[in-house]
Amino acid sequence: MHDVLPDQTPYWQHLEDVIRRIMSAYAYEEIRLPVLENTDLFKRTIGTFTDIVEKEMYTLKDYGVDMALRPEGTAGCVRASIENNLLRGQTPRLWYMGPMFRHERPQKGRYRQFHQAGVEAFGFEGPDIDAEMMGMTARLWRRLGLQGIELQINSLGSIDSRARYRGKLVDYMSAHLDKLDADSRRRLDTNPLRILDSKKPDMQALIENAPRLSEYLDKDSQQHFATLKTMLDNMGIKYVVNPRLVRGLDYYEKTVFEWVGDKLGAQNAICAGGRFDGLVRQLGGASTCAAGFAIGLERVISLMQEHGCPVKLNVPHAYLVMAGDKAIQRGQVLAETLRDELPALSLRVNYGGGNFKSQLKKADKSGASLALILGEEETARGQIAVKHLRLDEPQQTIMQSSLTEYLAKVI
């Protein structure tokens, strides 16, 4: 778990604002989901034998009911859509943002409390919605000014075709047991496709020579994937087909994709998603096609900082310096009036006393562009002094009645 300190929050605010604007541009609607869900929800959706369910979920008992802090958002979004009849005769396109929880070994880009922005769309059978989601994320990277991010895509085929491939993969891996590490041996009986996702160097030759899932795809999945690639080509979105991209969650089928950054080390995926056409029915709803993705906000912010992404810092426009009882009384009223008349103004008022010199030091340290100086003499005359802290301009004195107009021009 980690704190987000004030010098980091401008990055978060900027990223969250850009995400909201892009979701609005694509006419997706926001849904807000609970952090705590029934543990069985994740066992049924993510898979009982996945690393998340076996080793990483934070669980607790709520008056005898097994509950878990959400490790991802799709399961809760599907549950909410079924329970609230959002899917009945409708094709909702939803998005959400917030904290997720997994008990993993902390490393760069991975925390036990982390944050995601997620998107889920229901009722779309074709690859057009897959392409839209990849276009949406490509637009996000452009809007943030990020480079060095590669789109990797693959098709897992239908549940039946993947089952046939699974048998071939188990046979192949079983013939090379002496080359499998402990994790891969455990996955061989529970989730063998995850072996293909191993990043361990001594496993790569074995993985490279394994049977390819693409050779076992059903015709419908082949056509779906071919059309998706054509759509991406038409949209000008570059991609790489990665036959080893399998995703770690059991509910994916057909399209899967990841956006991978080149400066994040082993944990280099900043966005991942795909289709989960059978998940709604699996949770008790009607058979409904679906697709979605999730963005790791911490990893995106790390790239924003690497690339020097310009963000608006949390610094005030102006700092109000006051000396004398009457100046303090007048200053408080003046500050509230300015905030009424200039909603975009960020104004910090000096409290705690101090002479002009010490207050001006605080004003400069705050990062403000202007110091507004109000003493007893200025108060008596209805005036205020304005000092530029970042520009080489002379200090001037203006009437308080003109201050709103002056600041509107300056900020």
Question: What is the residue type of 386?
Answer: V
Quick check: 255 and 275 in contact, CB under 8 A? yes
**How would you classify the pairing of strands 370-374 and 318-322?**
parallel
Quick check: 371 and 363 in contact, CB under 8 A? yes
Q: What is the pLDDT along the chain (411 residues), one digit of tens a residue?
A: 889 999 999 999 999 999 999 999 999 999 999 999 999 888 887 765 566 666 788 889 888 889 999 999 999 999 999 999 999 989 999 999 999 999 877 666 578 999 999 999 999 999 999 999 999 999 999 999 998 899 999 999 988 888 888 888 889 999 988 888 888 888 887 778 878 877 788 888 898 888 888 888 999 999 999 999 999 999 999 999 998 887 666 678 899 999 998 765 555 889 999 999 988 998 899 999 999 999 999 999 999 998 888 888 889 999 999 999 999 999 999 999 999 999 999 999 999 989 999 999 999 999 999 999 999 999 999 999 999 999 999 999 999 999 999 999 988
pLDDT of the residue at 24: 97
> Each residue of 138-158: pLDDT tens digit?
999 999 999 889 999 999 998
DSSP result, 252-276: -EEEEEEEEESSSTT--EEEEEEE-
**How would you classify the pairing of strands 93-101 and 29-30?**
parallel
pLDDT of the residue at 375: 95
What's the Cα-to-Cα distance from 265 to each of 71, 239, 262, 274, rounded to whole Å? 22, 20, 7, 23
Can you list the domains of the chain with their CATH numbers? 9-158+218-306 (3.30.930.10), 318-410 (3.40.50.800)
Quick check: 388 and 370 in contact, CB under 8 A? yes
Rg (CA), the chain: 28
> Each residue of 223-249: pLDDT tens digit?
999 999 999 999 999 999 998 887 666
